[in-house]
Structure 1
Amino acid sequence: MFGKGITLFRILGFAVRVDLSWLILALLVTWSLAVGLFPNARLGLAVSTYWWMGLAGAAGMFVSILFHEFCHSLVARRFGMPMKGITLFIFGGVAEMDDEPPGPRAEFYMAVAGPLSSIVLGLAFYVALLALEGSKALAAVTGVLGYLAFINWVLAAFNLIPAFPLDGGRVLRAALWHWKKDLRSATRIASRLGSAFGLVIIFLGVVNILLGNVIGGLWQFMIGMFLRSAAQMSYQQVLVRRSLQGAPVARFMNPDPVTAPASINIRELVENYLYRYHFKMLPVRDNGRLIGCISTQKIKSIPRGEWDRRTVAEAMDHCSAENSVRPDTDAMKAFSLMGRTGNNRLMVVEDDRLLGIITIRDIMGYLQTSMELEENGDRHR
């Protein structure tokens, strides 16, 4: 869904990242608060003060969304779910999970943790507002506190809408999952409702554009498109996991892969192997024994003037958890590893012996057939 983003810091083991699209949201929020909301409140403050309030409001919203997602992550960890971190982006934030929740109970508690945290944080800002209210010297502070209390309650209310993948939609999926005892069926129903809700938001956006509210309408249109896409993608992810989980990579691998000799130089490798077979990574063997792998990415870092002098053995990468898997490795784990590292080819290794190569193309071919069969089955339900 996102690019790699920028890692800001780590807190309690969670990496907090910001997607570049978040900057757009931060600028829009700061601008709308500084030239719209706060001046319209008739606080009688200087223009520069409104801009400082806008910055403070945007920073407070950043903290509020981070707190919301952090509470999701803490509950997820409590139920044993591995979390990749928290990413903030143009439409808010997301706690990134490697897998689906282990059961409906875990899904429910993880989902409600976010809205409940926003309600509590909104109350904290409101209590602080009441404590400082009436002081003209602190008008700017109380203005920001009032905005942050309101925005946290809006965040909670919006997320409680039963439209997957919003938190309310996850609560609905947890209930359906508990009732039907079937995650795929529960996700299919919840994602369809989420997709329908996205269409409603898109329609409202178009209406607003036609009525002259172009900026607000475009914003609603983009949010609706995102929700619709996220709902559909969530169901596809469940189908992918259902198809791949429990299937060993040995089932998909090519047991007779092309390998490169360790003794040849880089130019020979490029001319006789890469240009011929068009692979981005090749296992490297020395007298029949696997000793590592060589990739086009690694070759790009070697000056062409050194290609005749450097051997494959000197330039290769050794076998590691980033480029190799065991034959009994779950195919879903291999698929996730490919996505995380960007390696579309992994060596299948056992006791330092090369058993084969598994590629993203091998997995996707299987997935395409499997998911077509799943979709045909859904049509007859």
Structure 2
Amino acid sequence: MFGRKIKLFTLFGFEVSIDASWIIIVVLVTWSLAVGFFPSYYPRLDVPTYWAMAAVGALGLFASIIFHEFWHSVVARRMGLPMRGITLFLFGGVSEMTEEPRSARTELWMAAAGPFSSILLGFAFWGVYRWGDSVGWPAPVLGVTAYLAFINFILAAFNLLPAFPLDGGRIIRSLLWRWKKDLTWATRIAASLGAIIGAILIGLGLLNMLAGALVGGLWYLVIGIFLRSAAQSSYRQVVVRQRLQGERVRDLMVRDPVTVAPDLLLTEFVEDFIYKHHHDMYPVLDNGRLVGAVRIKDVRTVPREERGWRKVADVLSPFTAELVLPPDMDLGEALDRMTTSGNSRFLVVEEGRLAGLITLKDVSTAVSVRLQLES
């Protein structure tokens, strides 16, 4: 789902980040508030005031989405579900889970927490607005407060749509899961609802665009496409997890991977290993002892004319947690690490010793074979 993430801060143990796509929505929201929303409801203010209101309103929206996702994460953690953090992206925010909910009850409470928190926050802002209006607060302050009340109610309503993976879709899935005791079936039904609602939004978007409402229609269209794609992707993830359930990294790892020595010249490494085996990363062993790994991107940092005398030891990366998986790790969790870290090859290390190597291609192939056998 995400491209490059930028960490902002840590909130009660949850890492809050933004995806680069969030910048697009910040710009669009600020612009639309400054030139459309606030001038329509509060005429006769000057242009700098509208832009100041828009900036504060956009920051308030930013904080409201974090608040919404924060309560998802808090409830999930209280119910024993590991959470990586919160990431804001083009269409809002997401609480990053390292695994699927372990029970329908956990899913229900976690899903309901976000919209409930947004409704409470909306009423809080509405109460502040009413009080401020009674004591004569200036129009710009009242305008921003009313907007934040309104946008939190909209945030809750949108997330309660029965379209998986939105919160409403997750609530539907939890109820179906509890009824049938079958997570895959419940996910398929909830994801189908998500795909249908996405298709409806796409249709509305096209109709609005044909009617001349280009900007509004484009938003319907983009959100509909996103919902359909997210629903299908979420269902595939659940199916993959089900197929990998009970399997460990050691079951798929390559036990005798191609390794290199630290004193190998980079020219020889390129010619005899990269061009021959076409791997992105190679374990580095010094007399049988694992000292790290060397990757193509490490070699690229060395000018071509220096590779004749520079060695692998000069550019290798120590085997840190970013490159290592334990052999007993669940394959589903390992797949999450691969897809979220951007690394497709991991060293499998046991008690400081290289036990093997596992790649994203290995896991994907295993899943594909299982799906073909069971389809």
Range of TM-score over shorter length: over 0.9
Between the aligned partners of 1:261 and 1:110, the Cα distance in structure 2 is: 49
Deviation of residue 314 (structure 1)?
A: 4.1
Whether 2:106 is the aligned partner of 1:106: answer yes
TM-score by length of 2: 0.94
Q: 1:129 to 1:291 in 2, by over 3 A?
A: closer
SS for the counterpart of 1:107 is helix
Q: Which moved more, 1:260-269 or 1:94-103?
A: 260-269
Equivalent in the alignment of 1:379: none
Contact 2:326 2:349 in 1 (8 A): yes
Q: Which moved more, 1:93-102 or 1:260-269?
A: 260-269
Equivalent in the alignment of 1:331: 331
Q: Structure 2: which amino acid aligns with 1:327?
A: P
Pairing 1:54-69 to 2, within 5 Å after superposition = 54-69=54-69
Contact 1:43 1:139 in 2 (8 A): no
Q: 1:303 to 1:18 in 2, by over 3 A?
A: same
Contact 1:21 1:90 in 2 (8 A): yes
Q: 1:289 to 1:88 in 2, by over 3 A?
A: closer
Q: Structure 1: which amino acid aligns with 2:192?
A: R
Between the aligned partners of 1:115 and 1:3, the Cα distance in structure 2 is: 26
CA RMSD of aligned residues (A): 1.9
Between the aligned partners of 2:64 and 2:117, the Cα distance in structure 1 is: 9
Q: 1:207 to 1:253 in 2, by over 3 A?
A: same
Q: Which moved more, 1:202-211 or 1:13-22?
A: 13-22
Q: Which moved more, 1:86-95 or 1:43-52?
A: 43-52
Between the aligned partners of 1:242 and 1:195, the Cα distance in structure 2 is: 21
Q: 1:243 to 1:118 in 2, by over 3 A?
A: same
Deviation of residue 86 (structure 1)?
A: 1.0
Deviation of residue 135 (structure 1)?
A: 6.0
Pairing 1:125-164 to 2, within 5 Å after superposition = 125-133=125-133, 138-164=138-164
Between the aligned partners of 2:132 and 2:277, the Cα distance in structure 1 is: 71
Between the aligned partners of 2:61 and 2:324, the Cα distance in structure 1 is: 42
Equivalent in the alignment of 2:184: 184
SS for the counterpart of 1:162 is coil
SS for the counterpart of 1:208 is helix
Contact 1:159 1:167 in 2 (8 A): yes
Q: 1:311 to 1:130 in 2, by over 3 A?
A: same
Q: Structure 2: which amino acid aligns with 1:224?
A: G
Between the aligned partners of 1:135 and 1:257, the Cα distance in structure 2 is: 73
Whether 2:231 is the aligned partner of 1:254: answer no
Contact 2:250 2:327 in 1 (8 A): yes
Q: 1:332 to 1:52 in 2, by over 3 A?
A: same
Deviation of residue 361 (structure 1)?
A: 1.3
Q: Which moved more, 1:102-111 or 1:2-11?
A: 2-11
SS for the counterpart of 1:262 is coil
SS for the counterpart of 1:81 is coil
Equivalent in the alignment of 1:280: 280
Deviation of residue 42 (structure 1)?
A: 4.4
Whether 2:267 is the aligned partner of 1:267: answer yes
Deviation of residue 38 (structure 1)?
A: 1.8
Deviation of residue 34 (structure 1)?
A: 1.8
Whether 2:26 is the aligned partner of 1:26: answer yes
Q: Which moved more, 1:213-222 or 1:333-342?
A: 333-342
Pairing 1:5-24 to 2, within 5 Å after superposition = 5-24=5-24
Pairing 1:33-48 to 2, within 5 Å after superposition = 33-48=33-48
Deviation of residue 112 (structure 1)?
A: 0.8
Deviation of residue 316 (structure 1)?
A: 2.4
SS for the counterpart of 2:138 is helix
Render the CA deviation track for 1:21-70: whole Å, top value 9, x for unaligned. Answer: 22221222222222222222244322221222122211111111111111
Q: Structure 2: which amino acid aligns with 1:127?
A: G
Unaligned runs of at least 5 residues, structure 1: 377-381
TM-score by length of 1: 0.93
Q: Structure 1: which amino acid aligns with 2:271?
A: E
Equivalent in the alignment of 2:303: 303
Deviation of residue 247 (structure 1)?
A: 1.0
Between the aligned partners of 2:147 and 2:342, the Cα distance in structure 1 is: 42
SS for the counterpart of 2:48 is helix
Aligned residues: 375
Q: 1:59 to 1:355 in 2, by over 3 A?
A: closer
Deviation of residue 288 (structure 1)?
A: 4.0
Deviation of residue 143 (structure 1)?
A: 1.2
Equivalent in the alignment of 2:362: 362
Q: Which moved more, 1:194-203 or 1:273-282?
A: 273-282
Contact 1:56 1:144 in 2 (8 A): yes
